[in-house]
Structure 1
Amino acid sequence: MPALPTEAEGPVTAPERVLVFAAHPDDLDFGAAGTIARWTAAGTQVSYCIMTDGDAGGFDEAHRPEIVAMRAAEQAEAARICGVSDLHFLHQRDGFLEPSYEVVGMVVELMRKIRPDIVLAMHPERAWDRIQKSHPDHLACGEAVTRAVYPAVENPFAYPELAEAGLPAYKVPYLWFFGGPAERENHFVDITEFVDTKVEAIRIHASQHPDVERMDARVRSMLRTNARRGGLEEGRSAEAFHVVGINTPATIAGF
């Protein structure tokens, strides 16, 4: 297991730039909104990339004609609550996301534009303890990002049209995954002071919540459980991640 990031290697508390990938509007709010709010409050520039339009989501038949616009607006407002204004949408079809050459290329392009200290994405491995975390689009999101992080984004000969357009290769320092198998999680971020912000952001996705109060209680309970698993004091709340060092002082790169 690679060494976890330290303040000296690449600031965890407030990295300069973070790029977050999710399959659908609302995924990243469930997985990482508290950490994102903590970062932006400390001055981090955070960008979101939502891969699908979420067109297969929701519960109300009356919303079908406007569900794409509705979910985009929900995500924009949830982002604002967390201190994020830079949003990107890849406009893939909900339920049909694949880590294709074209999708990976779009991910590489965005990484080379933003050049983040941390890339945050959904996990590419299925979680059998709660399979709802592992929607096929979630797995495809994680796989596309992983393929982009290594080797495509740092290979000057991959996607040469990007280099020709002024987007040279870039080495991502850290890749953080959310929503994966619990046994993979090796880093816990204390978000106790940002739990209400996280829940407020999740509540904005009203088109996806048939029982808001039950959702609220469940999220808060899971955050407290995360904190206990992470060794935090009783009563604290945390989000859990699988942190992978890609290009750090602890990794061997360039071979």
Structure 2
Amino acid sequence: MTTPPGSSTGIERALVVTAHPDDVDFGSAGTVATWVAAGVEVTYCICTSGDAGGFDSTPREEMARLRREEQRAAAAAVGVSDVRFLGHQDGRVVADIGLRRDIAKVIREVRPQRVLTHSPEINWSHLVVSHPDHRAVGEATLAAVYPDARNAFAFPELLEAGYEPWTVSQLWMSEAPEERINHAVDITDHIKAKLAALAAHRSQTAHRPDLPDAIEQHLARTAERHGMPGRLAEAFHVVDTS
């Protein structure tokens, strides 16, 4: 029998790989909260520290530290305590061999059955979610999932350092074009946690008093499109990578 997209059967650990602090909270924090509630151990891997973000006069030299602190607080709001930062430069992320190696290393460390990341495709109907950093991280994570993390002969320096190969079973991609979406998660019972996570990113969201209402409206429309009227949902392109 084929396992349906999004099945949590056998999922003990999940890794979320995003470009910036706050990316997971806008796209997937409600879903992460459902995983944590189900007993899944979740790790965040943030490829940059968000140093090019912000909307006010916060000194540039303070922004990276501030955003790392905000992401840790946001993670705690949905029950995640393991948050890692790779330190790549915000706004200049490319899917090069260095980023692939960094992500493959984290996969081999965490050994997740499920990885969630950005879609590497452009979403032409909602271009704002297709930031170049997002697409680069999605492309690099896809390569890290297959073939890098599972191939003992890829990055032999990782093997020499004790990072054994690991095969990820599921790849979840947020921000995918609508025609790719094949799984939606009902997050209605976790909306307070998602909104608390977003509120933790004050350097990015404090100027948006309308944000909670806008987020709930978006989630309601997503649920309606995917057969859950009256509920709130986040949607993904889920691929079996085993």
Unaligned runs of 5+ in 2: none
> 1:73-99 deviations in whole A, cap 9, x for unaligned?
000000001100001101111100011
Instruction: Verify: 1:30 aligned to 2:30, yes or no.
Output: no
Contact 1:24–1:50 under 8 Å retained in 2: yes
Q: Report the residue type matching 1:244 in the other structure.
A: V
Q: What is the TM-score of this pair, normalised by structure 2?
A: 0.95
CA shift, 1:212, in A, is 2.5
Separation (CA, whole Å) in 1 of partners of 2:65 and 2:136: 23
Q: Which residue of 1 aligns with 2:222?
A: 226
CA shift, 1:210, in A, is 5.2
Identity percentage over the alignment?
45
Q: Which residue of 1 aligns with 2:189?
A: 193
Residue 178 of structure 2 is aligned with which of 170, 176, 182? 182
* Cα RMSD, aligned residues only: 1.5
Q: What is the TM-score of this pair, normalised by structure 1?
A: 0.91
SS in 2 for 1:183: helix
Contact 2:199–2:206 under 8 Å retained in 1: no
Residue 130 of structure 2 is aligned with which of 121, 131, 134? 134
CA shift, 1:4, in A, is 3.0
In the TM superposition, what are the counterparts of 1:75-224 in structure 2 within 5 Å? Answer: 75-209=71-205, 211-224=207-220
Unaligned runs of 5+ in 1: 248-255
Separation (CA, whole Å) in 2 of partners of 1:180 and 1:241: 7
SS in 2 for 1:149: helix
Instruction: Verify: 1:52 aligned to 2:52, yes or no.
Output: no
Contact 1:4–1:187 under 8 Å retained in 2: no
Separation (CA, whole Å) in 2 of partners of 1:63 and 1:218: 29
Separation (CA, whole Å) in 1 of partners of 2:141 and 2:227: 29
Contact 1:4–1:243 under 8 Å retained in 2: no
> 1:65-121 deviations in whole A, cap 9, x for unaligned?
311111000000000011000011011111000111111001001101111010000
